[in-house]
Amino acid sequence: MTNKRLLLLAVFCFILPRLATAQNHDVETYRDQYRPQIHFSPAAHWINDPNGMVYFNHTYHLFFQYYPDATVWGPMHWGHATSTDLVHWKELPIALYPDSLGYIFSGSAVVDSNNTSGLGKKGKIPLVAIFTHHNPNGEKAGTNNYQNQSLAYSLDNGITWTKYAGNPVLNNPGIKDFRDPKVMWYARQKKWIMTLATKDRITFYSSPNLKKWKKESEFGATIGAHGGVWECPDLFPLKLNGKTHWVLIVNINPGGPNGGSATQYFTGDFNGSKFTPRDTKTRWLDYGPDEYAGITWGNTGSRKIFLGWMSNWEYANQVPTEKWRNAMTIPRELSLKAVNNEVLLASAPAKELNALTAKTLVLKPTVKAGQDILANLNKQYKQYRFDAKLRNKPGFRIKLSNDEGETMVIGYDNKTGNYYIDRSASGKTDFNPNFAKTAYAPRLAFPKTSDIHLIIDASSIEFFADGGLTTMTAVCFPHKPYTHLYIEILKVSDIVQPSVSGLVSIHGNK
């Protein structure tokens, strides 16, 4: 037999089967119990806050707080994943490791198009990450300056990163919680603006070059919710009816509307130095128990795409997954809406998710109480979405259930004006006493016909109502998928255009 034939035989008998095994192993990684099929989760180990979210060269970068040695929180690294469509993600090697200055806590990344930092070389545009160095030794010693802001940069489209030799670039003035820098370019004054979480408020800094920072102002000491430390802020403009408004996102833990972690926001004006809110009301971007640390992608123009961590610090280390722990929400597009002379922030599933739609069933307008809406949807789709419009918004209950009798109930009580998610019988709930309680959210607008949207994955529910003015996210751990859906309304004539759509797994599974 010739050497060429021996080589071909080796390919077919030895190499190709192992390639197939590796590919099958990839798919198998994402088939474990509770594994999200339409949300980003790491192949293994612990994940929390999204970090460094930036769009560059037709690629969305998602960095995240990551501990590669366990499924509980530990010394933080920056994990890394990329996507060209906001739906399918490729997990890459760890981008940033802890070093002598500390763990790598949360932060952001920017495209330094004009090379203001001087970190670009040979005409290459630098991506610059701005993050918090958290020194555990200083924390153990009881000091109050163990969190400082540092830089890293990439000259190969975000694949590899080099830490700046002059770190840290912003030293702690003596504030225990001094972290989570979100940086943006303020074109009007040709400077960078850093929005930084500083214990119980936000502090704004500016810089011409990302290296030298000057304090501009503070916001929030006596405004908003203060049940816990302010964390993971974001500042960006959005237009409403041709007018620019500024949105300031502030994550808080604890102190959320349903306990534990949550994301509040303010609308107002920003002049390059100071943020001025329209009013002093406390508002929540997501009222559910399981959206936290959410921020937006940078460098996406006028479009603002939001992503949050889908968990809650009350039980994030205890949820009953084995190889991995926690995931991200679906990407959401943010917009402003005027309601009763108020400017409110609305959320909607990003349009890119439509690419996962495999089959849509438009249901009869007269859906009967007790009818299983999923009965005619191929059971291969374990993840799906339900969409409908309700006329006059009667009280309703949507019940998701499985063959084990476990249920999630999403509803609206027209007497109290509250939406709710009840996961008391949703599956495994005994890992934390606070997990099973019902979460509530107010209705903020009352159109004659309003929309509701539900996105159901293996271990989560995301609910959007009234044009996304009320949003609720909740994780759940059923022993089997919810393959039954029932809706109960006051009058069958009140439901309009109901539909259910099967969603294809982003991992190649059904």
Q: Which two tokens mark 84?
A: 């060209």
Residues 6+ apart with CB under 8 A from 168: 101, 133, 148, 149, 150
Secondary structure (DSSP) of 329-366: PPPEEEEEEEETTEEEEEEEE-GGGGGGEEEEEEPPS-
Strand partners, 103: 134
For residue 260, give the amino acid letter. G
CA–CA dist 97, 111 (Å, integer): 21
CA of 406: how far to CAs of 399, 402, 479, 482, in Å?
A: 10, 6, 8, 8
CA–CA dist 448, 72 (Å, integer): 46
As to burial, measured by CB atoms within 10 angstroms (0-12 exposed, 13-18 middle, 19+ buried), residue 202 is buried
- Count of CA atoms in the C-beta half-sphere (13 A) of 237: 18
CA–CA dist 110, 173 (Å, integer): 25
SS3 481: coil
Closest CA to 304 of 295, 315, 291: 295
Q: Which residue has the tokens 């679906």?
A: 330
Q: Which two tokens mark 220?
A: 């929030």
φ/ψ of 467, rounded to 5, equals 70, 25
CA–CA dist 52, 81 (Å, integer): 11
CA–CA dist 131, 136 (Å, integer): 16
Contact at 8 Å (CB) between 232 and 265?
no
Catalytic residue among 49, 112, 286, 457: 49
Cis peptide before 208 (omega within 30 of 0): no
Helices (H), 174-221: none
Q: Which two tokens mark 369?
A: 């109480």
End-to-end CA distance of the chain: 44
Strands 45-56 and 324-325: parallel
CA of 53: how far to CAs of 46, 63, 83, 225, 457, in Å?
A: 19, 6, 11, 26, 23
Known active-site residue 413 = no
CA–CA dist 436, 422 (Å, integer): 8
Give catalytic residue positions.
Answer: 49
